[in-house]
Amino acid sequence: MQSLQELLKTHEQDIQAFAPADATELESYRIKYLGAKGIVKQVFGEMKNVPVEQKKDAGQLLNAFKQLAEAKYEAFAHLQSSNKKADKAVDMTLPGTPLPTGTRHPLRMVENQIISIFEKIGFSVATGPEIEDDWHNFTSLNMPEHHPARDMQDTFYVSQNPDWVLRTHTSSVQARIMEQGHLPVRVICPGRVYRNETISARAHCFFHQCEGLYIDKNVSFADLKQTLYYFVTEMFGPDTKVRFRPSYFPFTEPSAEMDISCTVCGGSGCSLCKHTGWVEILGCGMVHPNMLRNFGIDPEVYSGFAFGMGVERITQIKYQVNDLRLYSQNDIRFLKQFQSI
Ligand code: PHE
């Protein structure tokens, strides 16, 4: 009887201290104490060694022990059942939670469209730095020191070095390409440009341009017109009309601006074309002989044309985006409208 009491006591201490962390620990406990070969069964087996006159007391002790072992198990039984419920809750046949997929930015899509149109006629892509020096952004482009475009009002200067600017146009890449001296040249130069403008629906301190440059022997203004006409019909459709207006850029001579017939009203007049039927899309011209000379290219032998267009402007006309700020606000409701393009 005494040895039985001692045996039960050590087990009781263990049982009291037992606190399962999960269903697996609880199940090991069940097997250890309450299983077919468990401790409860074993200690009941000791009854046969207890003298008859003590059997009643021993029976009470053993029953109390059994109840203790079972009560502990019951106390944590919710671990088992909640786990089983969780198992049932996972229905592997249900469809998964879809992850929203991103889209390309509309400006990047239009830039890619511009590039692929020009790639078809043999232009390759060139890029240059966004922090540019005075020579590539201004001087080499026939824009001498007094030129108004250099005004602090328009240009961001880099404070560490007065010679550095955030490029104000992608024409700086033209300069870098000519500098390399590989002729003929037929490149398209997409990129971001910066101007010190107050941000509004119609102006931004940064935007995107796509420059084109073609230099070879016998390149004429007719080649320029035909190239741009091809671009317009690919980008805006075969019914789009073009017109050229004389203009001025220091790095082209003659220079022109090109308009297309309004894609929204077809020419009858609307708010996009300010009721003129035409929208301006780019500047262009024949590369100025001074610029060719700046890079050691003989203007008597070579000639070329250049053009530069705003990617935001093309996107605005093609998809009727009427506020420039939308492009940089990262509003998913705006961006996802371009998903299917
Ligand atoms: N760089 C000019 C601008 O930013 C555009 C242009 C490019 C004009 C090439 C003529 C030739 O307005």
Q: What is the arithmetic mean of pLDDT over 210-239? A: 97
Partner residues linked to 207 by β-bridges: 193
- Could you tell me the distance, in angstroms and rounded to a whole number, from the CA of residue 308 to the centre of ligand 1? 4
171 touches ligand 1 (CB under 6 Å) = yes
Q: pLDDT > 90: what percent of the chain?
A: 73
| pLDDT category of residue 81 using cuts at 50, 70 and 90 | low
307 touches ligand 1 (CB under 6 Å) = yes
pLDDT of residue 82: 59
pLDDT of 256 strictly over 80: yes
For all residues of the chain together, what is the average pLDDT? 92
Please name the residue whose Cα sits nearest to atom 12 of ligand 1.
283
pLDDT of 83 strictly over 80: no
- Whether the CB-CB separation of 290 and 166 falls below 8 Å is answered with no
214 touches ligand 1 (CB under 6 Å) = no
211 touches ligand 1 (CB under 6 Å) = yes
CA distance to 19, 124, 125, 238, per residue, from 86 (Å): 21, 59, 57, 62
Q: What is the arithmetic mean of pLDDT over 62-73? A: 93
- Whether the CB-CB separation of 214 and 304 falls below 8 Å is answered with yes
pLDDT of residue 207: 96
- Could you tell me the distance, in angstroms and rounded to a whole number, from the CA of residue 338 to the centre of ligand 1? 28
Please tell me the distance from the alpha carbon of residue 81 to that of residue 257, in angstroms, as a whole number. Answer: 78
CATH topology for 106-338 is BirA Bifunctional Protein; domain 2 (3.30.930)
Please name the residue whose Cα sits nearest to atom 2 of ligand 1.
308
Q: What is the arithmetic mean of pLDDT over 284-303? A: 96
| pLDDT category of residue 11 using cuts at 50, 70 and 90 | very high
